[in-house]
């Protein structure tokens, strides 16, 4: 099975209106920039996006929000996106805020084939509204369903033609979990090598989970807030 695609446009070509997408990354680190750009160009609508972060106004998922491609956003952190805030307050966008650990665990459950998990996060808060609660050993837990995503779109530092992936630093927070969880997983990588060129001990996501892979280009790798400090040299 040939998993290698020429570019992002080819890899996302069959994503259609109404699909549920997982989009990897933590904040703006390790987001699938090329695939997001291709989705913006395709301008598919009524998408449900599952992601740790909703991007910023002019980057990441924020570009899709700007074009009103997203019907529902499931995420943990949305604080840097004014357009997201506007759509939320106006009722244009459906939003499900999920505790970060719960978001990760629901991805993991989908990858493991588990229908649901129990977590204490959110008990007694708005997060618990309409959800089943069970008591185990004297402590209440919420039942949270595993995500069901049509596509998981992730970004890795290096990958091979069999789909084995290596992530760097903060990009490991959600990308490996989401790579396991999609019905179809698309991986964009900075470096694409032949099968066998990656040390098996370095592989974070085995190729069995990855259906499509391509070498991306022109990565901006933005951060949300850059903090710098002027350090005077010792005299």
- 95-154 confidence digits (pLDDT tens): 998 999 999 999 999 999 999 999 999 999 988 999 999 999 999 999 999 999 999 999
pLDDT > 70: percent of the chain: 96
User: Between the CA atoms of 139, 142, 145 and 147, what dihedral angle is there, to the nearest 10 degrees?
Assistant: -100
Q: What token pair was written down for 96?
A: 């499900």
Work out the average pLDDT over 13-35: 93
| Percent of the chain's residues with pLDDT above 90 | 75
Q: pLDDT at position 233, please?
A: 64
Q: Give the pLDDT band of residue 28 (cuts 50, 70, 90).
A: confident
pLDDT of res. 234 = 63
Distances (CA, A) of 47 to 22, 35, 73, 228, 234: 10, 14, 9, 37, 55
Return the H-helix or E-strand segment holding 73.
strand 70-75
Burial of 150 (0-12, 13-18, 19+ CB in 10 A): middle
Q: Which of 229, 226, 223, 234 is nearest to 53 (CA)?
A: 223
Alpha helices for 28-174 (secondary structure H) = 33-42, 61-66, 82-90, 100-112
- How far apart, in whole angstroms, are the C-alpha atoms of residue 61 and residue 63? 5
Q: What is the mean pLDDT of the chain?
A: 92
Beta strands in 85-201 (DSSP E): 94-97, 116-119, 133-136, 139-145, 149-160, 165-166, 182-193
Please give the pLDDT value at position 55. 78
What confidence category does residue 12 fall into, taking pLDDT thresholds of 50, 70 and 90?
very high
Tell how strand 70-75 and strand 139-145 pair up. unpaired
Give yes or no for residue 81 having a pLDDT over 60: yes
Return the structure tokens found at 198: 């990656």
Instruction: Decide which of 88 and 205 is more confident.
Output: 205
The residues facing 214 across adjacent strands are: 188
CA distances from 42 to 15, 136, 218 (A): 9, 47, 19
Continuous segment of H or E residues that includes residue 47: strand 47-50
- What are the structural domains, with CATH classification, of the chain? 16-215 (3.40.1080.10)
| Each residue's pLDDT tens digit, 175-224 | 999 999 999 999 999 999 999 999 999 999 999 999 999 999 988 776 66
Give the C-alpha separation, 73 to 75, whole Å.
6
Q: What is the pTM of this model?
A: 0.90
Cα–Cα distance, 185 to 5 (Å, whole number): 13
Q: What is the pLDDT, as a whole number, of residue 78?
A: 75
pLDDT at 82: 84
* pLDDT score at 226: 66
Average pLDDT score over residue span 75-102: 87
């Amino acid at each position: 099975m040939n998993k290698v695609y020429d570019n992002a446009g080819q890899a996302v070509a069959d994503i259609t209106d109404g699909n549920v997408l997982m989009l990897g990354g933590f904040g703006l680190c390790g987001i699938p920039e090329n695939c997001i750009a291709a989705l913006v160009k395709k301008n598919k609508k009524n998408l449900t996006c599952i992601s740790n972060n909703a991007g910023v106004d002019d980057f990441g998922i924020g570009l899709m929000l700007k074009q009103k491609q997203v019907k529902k956003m499931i995420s943990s952190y949305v604080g840097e996106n004014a357009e997201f805030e506007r759509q939320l307050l106006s009722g244009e966008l459906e939003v499900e805020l999920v505790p970060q650990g719960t978001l990760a665990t629901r991805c993991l459950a989908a990858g493991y084939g588990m229908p649901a998990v129990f977590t204490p996060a959110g008990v007694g808060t708005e997060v618990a509204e309409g959800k089943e609660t069970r008591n185990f050993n004297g402590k209440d837990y919420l039942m949270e369903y595993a995500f069901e995503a049509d596509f998981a779109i992730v970004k890795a530092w290096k990958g091979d033609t069999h789909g084995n992936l290596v992530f760097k630093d903060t990009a490991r927070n959600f990308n490996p979990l989401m790579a396991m969880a999609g019905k179809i997983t698309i991986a964009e990588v900075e470096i694409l090598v032949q099968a066998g060129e990656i040390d098996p001990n370095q592989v974070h996501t085995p190729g069995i989970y990855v259906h499509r892979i391509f070498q991306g280009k022109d990565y901006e790798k933005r951060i949300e807030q850059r903090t710098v400090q002027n350090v005077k040299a010792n005299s």
